[in-house]
Amino acid sequence: MAFSRISKLDPPSRGIFRRAAVMLCSLLTSLLLLHCLTERCGTSSPVKASSSRVEGHHNEDLGGSIRSKRLLYEWTAGSELTGYGASRRSSRVLADEQTPEQPEESFMLPPPDLVASRKVSPRFAGKLSPLGEGSKKLPQALIIGVKKGGTRALLEFLRVHPDIRAVGAEPHFFDRNYDNGLEWYRDLMPKTLEGQITMEKTPSYFVTREAPARISAMSRDTKLIVVVRDPVTRAISDYTQTLSKKPDIPSFESLTFKNRTTGLIDTSWSAVQIGIYAKHLDNWLQYFPMDQILFVSGERLISDPAGELGRVQDFLGLKRIITDKHFYFNQTKGFPCLKKAEGSSKPHCLGKTKGRTHPNIDPEVVQRLRDFYRPFNMKFYQMTGRFFGWDD
Ligand SMILES: *[C@@H]1O[C@H](CO)[C@@H](O)[C@H](O)[C@H]1NC(C)=O
Ligand SMILES: *[C@@H]1O[C@H](CO)[C@@H](O)[C@H](O)[C@H]1NC(C)=O
């Protein structure tokens, strides 16, 4: 309408119109440019990603506090420099720019104040690396359990691998948040480049009845990892964690039994129920073949982290990059730690909530639980073809 009116005007005002049109065009162009730049900058802002990491952390089932997460962050950050050399590192800069939630990046990226200034001069940052490249993909591999098995340790060890990108918090998609849909889920994932594996861990999946069907519906090729641990120590650890949050819950002994006199065990108590691995595994085998599920020994993950990580890397089809060079054992804590960074005086171990000392449980109750689990354990060894050595 405005155009037709203007076209009827005399030559001098047409000149004004032309000038106005040019100005409008350049304004639109710069707006478009600005939009592109800020969007790119926004989606790959490390500050943004790390804050969402802390946010998501509240969901976590494991007892780790934000402080423990921060320790983990520092702890994994140390791995890079001692683990593989500078040549490796330079090849990683590209990948690290894509995935700000990756702990090691504290070595790769400038401190937060510099990160913030990157927003001011995005073009400069763009020259350093292909910001905004890569895409969010649904996970190809999941750590599905078990609670108190060592899933946090496994995930943090795995994050050392340059070809693994993982969500820090537990998304709980296939149990609590399934109604949000796959796009919601995909959006939680870090950006990955071709060849990188997207992962997440939510230990409750293993005991969620609907999880196998739902994961299979996402992709039948999803690789599943389960960290398992002696069900008796797992139950005690589970109870210990709950006790630390709610100090006035009944004793472990009274929760274990339906009737202490008869020695009948309360299998509906989740601390007991989670450890009946053979039963839960049956449910998964309705949807996934055995060779798509890897069982990691929670005990070996502590006594021989590099050995277990070797198996996991093989299972994921990755080069064995995480090796014994990455670990040292903290005798005091009884836990493996990733090696400290060069120039840092602090070791990088799991947070304080990991490796809590357990309350003393009546040995009779422990024995009763051992007897209870034994047949289920035997069945589990048979199903998995691996002897975990919980009953000897
Ligand atoms: C426990 O079992 C004993 C022996 O069968 C029975 O006498 C008692 O009433 C039971 N206690 C409870 C709380 O069910
Ligand atoms: C080992 O763990 C203890 C207890 O958490 C801690 O005080 C100590 O600094 C750690 N030492 C090393 C070398 O990691």
| Residue carrying the six token digits 């001069």 | 121
Please determine, for residue 25, whether its predicted confidence score (pLDDT) is greater than 90.
no
Neighbours of 164 (CB within 10 A): 24
| Residue carrying the six token digits 């090691």 | 104
Count of structural domains, the chain: 1
Is there a domain that residue 364 lies in? no
Is there a domain that residue 67 lies in? no
Nearest Cα residue to 203 out of 158, 167, 172, 177: 172
Neighbours of 313 (CB within 10 A): 19
Ligand 1, atom 11: closest residue by C-alpha? 259
Binding-site members for 3'-phosphoadenylyl sulfate are 148-152, 229, 237, 354-358
Q: Which residues constitute the domain of residue 164?
A: 135-232+273-355+377-384
pLDDT tens, residue by residue, 274-318: 999 999 999 999 999 999 999 999 999 999 999 999 999 999 999
- 7 CB under 6 A from ligand 2? no
Q: Any idea which residues carry the catalytic annotation?
A: 148
Is there a domain that residue 92 lies in? no
The structure tokens listed for 125 are 């940052």
Q: Which pLDDT belongs to residue 235?
A: 97
Is there a domain that residue 192 lies in? yes
The structure tokens listed for 298 are 């929670």
For residue 301, which phi and psi values (nearest 5 degrees)? Answer: -60, -30
Is there a domain that residue 143 lies in? yes
Is there a domain that residue 6 lies in? no
Give the number of whichever ligand sits closest to the CA of residue 262. Answer: 1
- 71 CB under 6 A from ligand 2? no
CATH number, domain containing residue 343: 3.40.50.300
pLDDT tens, residue by residue, 219-264: 999 999 999 999 999 999 999 999 999 999 999 999 999 998 999 9
SS3 203: helix
Q: Which among 72, 332, 354 is the best mutation to test ligand 2's pocket, defined by most ligand atoms within 8 Å of the CB?
A: 332
- 344 CB under 6 A from ligand 2? no
Q: What DSSP element (H or E) covers 141?
A: strand 141-145
Mean pLDDT of 89-113: 30
Pocket of ligand 1 (CB under 6 A): 259, 261-262
- Beta bridge partners, 223, equal 141
CB 116 within 8 A of CB 244: no
The structure tokens listed for 227 are 């960290």
pLDDT band at 142 (very low <50, low <70, confident <90, very high): very high
Ligand 1, atom 14: closest residue by C-alpha? 259
Q: Which among 254, 258, 262, 265 is the best mutation to test ligand 1's pocket, defined by most ligand atoms within 8 Å of the CB?
A: 262
Rounded CA-CA distance 40/133 in Å is 9
- Residue 340 CA: which ligand 2 atom is closest? 14
Is there a domain that residue 72 lies in? no
